[in-house]
Structure 1
């Protein structure tokens, strides 16, 4: 499972990574500032018109021409504010949709491009939760929190200036009490953020637990333990429910606190205005203008505090998204892979360690892959054989050491500098768990060479010990309708076809004969010898090891130390 990041107390209200990586966010922020500034001016204008209507109506006794004009202007301002509010909501919704599409594409592309990663790959259940309900948290982040953040930066400043010009004492009162709202908002925000992040983590744990139970359901049913898992899922679900209700309760309480502080602050302004109007030191027009306008200084900041949990959820999701996107090599690889037909591949003291693990996944290892030779890697389970293959494929970046390639002309290349697409185009790979797509046997074999003919597909299946596998046989997603041996033989056929038709000159095979009978294993051994390419094979079975030109045993990291 990927390491989940936790926001620190110094996390900014707007994640700078969203701004740097998304043009939609930058455009949206610029539009938000413009719209918020216009809305701030309209708030001042609306307050002035309300004060004008009331004062003129009292002083001139009725709807005289001045009052009528002010009422019509007030209606126009209210309609304009409503239109700008609608426009703000539309812009934020579209920005959220575009950002979600962009982030989903980047995450999926990052997980599928096979670029080297420095930590453990995220579990599928976590990715599903992140790309589904997790990414939807950005809707409220963009639709509620960021619009209020833009308003909180412009409206209070405009209101304080307007009030100070009209009544300096009220302006000073608002300027002094506004920081109290900010202080309480920060204090409440700390608690709300932590509780909201805990709720997101609880939902992630629930998805992990459910996925684990689903994966092992067959085994659990065989041993009659499937019913016992109901209690476990119920307990994890109950924890998720408690965290959700706790976050909601704290959000409501935080809104109450901010409302109380804002109400008391407005009351201070109102009392001062009322006393001075009664004493004749302030005109009714000015007093009404300030009194109507004063709540507008506090409202945007209160709304930011009320929507802070939307910010916490959105940034918790963004942290997990960028934990995946940032786990890659930052250097641009421009060197095209050399011809590996006569090249020597050197693994020089390579080790791999994952964050959060005390024992390396691969202890420091050195070996040489000589052109046209077969090298067998042996060792007990967990010693890093599959990790070594991942390093050679470029899926995992070495923690220490390096992989170099000495071409036939004597030029030496570092795998860290080689473009991975060109590198993998020269490889034929059989993983420990072969990946199969929904379709036919022939379609899956042709993933090694799309332009291969039917005869070439049939020949590859035959050489892989699978003459009984019909090319037209249907294959379900992941090869669910095939046995383990059939899936492995199909993957070997695909690798052979890649060598014969796509020009691959290096084969990396992770236990290619596991689960095969003696006859099928003999076919695979014969085909590997006849391929006449550089081969690294992870092997447990004696016959495959005996066929190798050289054997390199790996030992677990603890024993190597």
Structure 2
């Protein structure tokens, strides 16, 4: 599993493989420089202490030693830069990949996940990969290269020391692997606990009004405190394992270095070895363990990264419900049809049951029905948010799943029941529909939505700032700003899902006329529970239990005395709307 994650992480970033290769090459070159540096230093000390030469006689070696210090520092710096650039490339690519995949999964998937969970995965989760990519992976390669190079040189000068390194060296990785099984489970728990804590905290912030009104704020604070304490306990358990790994490594490394030093001392006293090879090898022995120390230092980062990456790849491996093609939207006025459309959201109980209908080009079609009848699900299927269990949607005769997703969505203007506004200016939220829109066009759209005077009265006008979800505006103003965004997009297909649900009756009447102007010459679909705009529709589809049970004009359906007439007579529609009808 870990190898698969290594491969996928490196493959995710363009140029990451080259960057990591460069980091490894530079790190290995720095390791060779250390060997040469130890050789020069041993020769200088041997000449000055035992041969009692003048300082000038080793001037060239001193210069070489200084140059080696600079070269080694430059190589180490270059390795760090290359590794961090590779890690940055991977992080950027993964965030783009995750966002694109979430768009492909669609609103239905996002609605089933906690937003704080996905946000933590995209932010903290991907950020946790940097130490793994920039430090651990290069260190893994250097562990296999630098110690072997040091061992080969040590063997050339003293086989006894080489034997000690051969015996003691593998103990450290084996001990790390043994501890790693325990550490991996702990870090998986730690990451899951972090996601739970993030989700609960976001829920508390978003629902603070509800919690205060029901007197449950203190209970929620206590719950978050318990979750935070659980996260602290798991984190400390992981750190204990990390410190244990480092302590074990330092013990074995120090023991090996001490053993080599003691043996050299005894052999020097008995004259079994000269000072130069003994001092040279003694300088190299710590360098043999240095890559292993670096590996242990970053081993905990590896565990954190693997835990985060597993959650990331769980999302990326989720297969989108909706499949798209790459065909262009057929030219001309757009007609939409549904043929045997069944939608069940994978639950086995269909929400839509064999829908057959056509939304002719340039016409206004209204969809009505009681709550839960399937109105919004029908809109979601036409938008491409959900995949049909059977049947499908066609656009000018072309199956929707053969079209390019972005091209189809460019043809749509959609206003849902609960429109989404982002923290930023009024202009920023309007330009989501048309990024190049100038101020006059935005003001015209606001005027058609009945919001121009309100916006111009705000400090800054179009540049006035609003909070997340439209904080600072009333519910009706949020809905009208979403309508203004649809007006600004000027798309050939318009879908309004309860677009006037949050407006007062007077404003609804004003917007009904504006919507009438907007839908003229377009393929318009209006989903309504309050039926004030339905009387002017070219055709009305009545849904009940996921089926189209009636179809016709307002007058014809009213005269029929069926489900449509019962909707009005039962009081499920607004009284004023009924009078208007």
Question: What is the TM-score with the length of structure 2 in the denominator?
Answer: 0.77
- Give how far 1:157 is off: 1.9
Counterpart position of 1:506: 493
Counterpart position of 1:6: none
Q: Deviations over 1:478-525 (max 9, x none)?
A: 322333233324434543564xxx3x3332222223233445545556
Verify: 1:429 aligned to 2:414, yes or no: yes
- Give how far 1:117 is off: 7.1
Stretch moving more, 296-305 or 113-122: 113-122
- Give how far 1:304 is off: 0.7
Q: Deviations over 1:231-256 (max 9, x none)?
A: 12222222222222222222111100
Matches within 5 A, 1:6-405: 10-12=1-3, 15-61=6-52, 63=54, 69-104=60-95, 107=98, 116=106, 119-120=109-110, 123-270=114-261, 273=264, 277=268, 280-323=271-314, 333-339=325-331, 341-346=333-338, 348-351=340-343, 353=345, 366-371=355-360, 372=363, 374-376=365-367, 378=369, 380-381=371-372, 385-394=375-384, 396-398=385-387, 400-401=389-390, 403-405=392-394
2: CA distance, partners of 1:455 / 1:488: 16
2: CA distance, partners of 1:290 / 1:545: 91
Q: Deviations over 1:320-354 (max 9, x none)?
A: 45555565769884311124635232254443647
Picking from 448, 451, 458, the partner of 1:460 is 448
* Unaligned residue ranges in structure 2 (runs of 5+): 459-463, 548-581
- Give how far 1:526 is off: 6.0
Shift of the 375–524 alpha-carbon distance from structure 1 to 2, 3 Å rule, reads same
1: CA distance, partners of 2:56 / 2:333: 94
Stretch moving more, 339-348 or 292-301: 339-348
- Give how far 1:213 is off: 0.7
Shift of the 342–149 alpha-carbon distance from structure 1 to 2, 3 Å rule, reads closer
- Give how far 1:272 is off: 5.3
Counterpart position of 1:551: 542
Shift of the 29–370 alpha-carbon distance from structure 1 to 2, 3 Å rule, reads same
- Give how far 1:42 is off: 1.4
Stretch moving more, 546-555 or 451-460: 451-460
Shift of the 214–44 alpha-carbon distance from structure 1 to 2, 3 Å rule, reads same
Contact 1:442/1:472 (8 A) holds in 2? no
Query: How many residues align structurally?
Result: 529
2: CA distance, partners of 1:387 / 1:37: 59
Contact 1:377/1:385 (8 A) holds in 2? yes
Stretch moving more, 72-81 or 449-458: 449-458
Counterpart position of 2:577: none
Matches within 5 A, 1:430-449: 430-436=415-421, 438-440=424-426, 444=430, 447=433
Matches within 5 A, 1:444-523: 444=430, 447=433, 450=437, 453=441, 457=445, 460-461=448-449, 466=450, 470=454, 472-474=456-458, 476-477=466-467, 478-496=469-487, 498=489, 502=490, 504-521=491-508
2: CA distance, partners of 1:313 / 1:263: 28
Question: What is the TM-score with the length of structure 1 in the denominator?
Answer: 0.80
2: CA distance, partners of 1:43 / 1:445: 58
Shift of the 268–427 alpha-carbon distance from structure 1 to 2, 3 Å rule, reads same
Contact 2:188/2:307 (8 A) holds in 1? yes
1: CA distance, partners of 2:342 / 2:274: 82
Shift of the 347–309 alpha-carbon distance from structure 1 to 2, 3 Å rule, reads farther
- Give how far 1:24 is off: 4.5
Shift of the 101–344 alpha-carbon distance from structure 1 to 2, 3 Å rule, reads closer
Q: Deviations over 1:292-332 (max 9, x none)?
A: 22232222123212211112223444444555556576988
Secondary structure (helix, strand or coil) at the match of 2:217 reads: coil
1: CA distance, partners of 2:429 / 2:190: 44
Shift of the 453–406 alpha-carbon distance from structure 1 to 2, 3 Å rule, reads closer
Q: State the superposition RMSD in angstroms.
A: 3.9
Contact 1:436/1:444 (8 A) holds in 2? no
- Give how far 1:65 is off: 5.8
2: CA distance, partners of 1:75 / 1:205: 54
Contact 1:192/1:308 (8 A) holds in 2? no
Matches within 5 A, 1:535-550: 535-541=524-530, 549-550=540-541
- Give how far 1:221 is off: 1.9
Shift of the 421–269 alpha-carbon distance from structure 1 to 2, 3 Å rule, reads same
Contact 2:365/2:524 (8 A) holds in 1? yes
* Unaligned residue ranges in structure 1 (runs of 5+): 1-9, 557-561
- Give how far 1:361 is off: 9.1
2: CA distance, partners of 1:340 / 1:513: 29
Q: Deviations over 1:405-442 (max 9, x none)?
A: 252xxxx3222221122212222211121123544499
- Give how far 1:224 is off: 2.8
Higher relative contact order (CA 8 A, sep 6+): 1
- Give how far 1:219 is off: 1.5
Stretch moving more, 207-216 or 317-326: 317-326
